[in-house]
Amino acid sequence: MTQKKITRRDFIKLTAVGATVLAGSQVIRRAQALETAESGGRQWVMVIDQSKCTGCGYCTLACRAHNDVPPDISWNVVTKTGTVGAQDVFIARPCMQCAHAPCVEVCPVRASTYRPDGIVKMDYDRCIGCRYCEIACPYGARSFNWKYFDGPNPSVPEWGQPEIERRPRGVVEKCSFCFQRIDRGLSLGLTPGIDEDATPACSVVCPVGARLFGDLNDPDSNVSKLLKGRTSYRLREDLGTSPRVYYLSATEEPQS
């Protein structure tokens, strides 16, 4: 009989402990929400002009060099999608940096998170390599490191110098909008999208200026003006992911 009383008391104790843990996690969550409020007001977007893109693939190579990406992985994939008039049409696909990113939702360890400026950031020290994000991404923007990338990077030094650490075996990796360049550039007082040292490597290397980068919250930025002036589209908008990469369709006559 006495034993029953103890079990009941223990049960209540356990419930109390559980409630405390839950409440604690809510407090932490609130603190994190406050953190994201200081966004600096910037929202980085990329505009890819298909009427200019020639499919040269320099963007992919510069990306491989600056981010030390192994040759069997592409953070940025260029595909030929058809023709308009006599011209071939290409589409370059970096990470879409979705505002509602399925990868961020599904990651069991919060290794993928939203930065205040909208970039979806990977924490390679936290990723456990479960590959759920890879399955959830509608754009195929994520790649798994099936083996360790050792030896020299064939894109270095021709296309640039690595700016970030090489990823270990067993984690998923993806395009980061070169936030290492953005952060460093901002700290030096540069403007991403205008100053080359503060702009993603793919955008800088593009020989025809088909990849523009800038702050959508700044009405005077080149991307804001371009998106206001021309019709744009985003990939798989029907999914509601709100990508931060906009495309300008290829036309018969190249537009400025």
Partner 1 sequence: MKIKLPKFSLWMAWVGGLAVLLVAGVAAGVMVLWKGLSLTHLTDMIPWGLWITIDLSSIAMSAGAFSLCAVVYLLNLKRYQPVARTATFIGLIGYTMAVLTLLLDIGRPDRFWHSLIFWNKHSLLWEVTMCVTLYLGVLALEALPIFASFGWLRSHWPKLADRMSRIHHFAPYLAIAGLALSMLHQSSLGALYGVLKARPLWYRPDISVLFIVSAIAGGMSLTVLASMLSVRLTKHANVDNNILDRVAQIIGWVLVVYLYFRFWDALSMTYTYEPGRTEGLAQLTAGNLSFNFWIGEMLLGAVVPIILLLNKRTRSLPLWRMLALALVVGGVVAYRWDTNISGLLITLSYLPGEPAVAYSGAYFPSIIEILTGAGIISYGLLSFSLGVRYLKVVDHNSTKVHIADSKVIGAVPVTGD
* Binding test (CB under 8 A) with partner 1, winner from 147, 161, 197, 255: 147
How near is the Cβ of 203 to partner 1 at its closest, in Å? Answer: 20
- Binding mask 43-82 toward partner 1 (x if CB under 8 A, else -) reads ------------------------------------x-xx
Q: CB-wise, 146 or 154, nearer to partner 1?
A: 146
Query: What's the rounded Cα separation, in Å, for the pair 123 and 45?
Result: 21
Owner of token pair 């356990």 = 14
Give min distance, CB of 186 to partner 1, in A.
27
Burial 205-242 (b: 16+ CB within 10 A, else e): bbeeebbbbbbbbbeebebbebbeeeebeebeeeeebe
| Residue of the chain from 95, 172, 178, 248 that contacts partner 1 (CB under 8 A) | 172
Q: With contact defined as beta carbons under 8 Å apart, do 212 and 148 qualify?
A: no
- What angle is formed at CA 240 by the lines to CA 236 and CA 243, rounded to 5 degrees? 65
* Min CB(11)–partner 1 separation in Å: 6
- In degrees, to the nearest 5, what angle opens at C-alpha 63 toward C-alphas 146 and 133? 45
- Binding test (CB under 8 A) with partner 1, winner from 48, 92, 171, 210: 171
Report DSSP state, residue 78: E
Q: Give residues in contact with partner 1 (CB under 8 A).
A: 1, 3, 7, 11, 25, 79, 81-82, 91, 93, 102, 104-111, 126-132, 134-140, 142-148, 168-172, 233, 235-236, 239-240
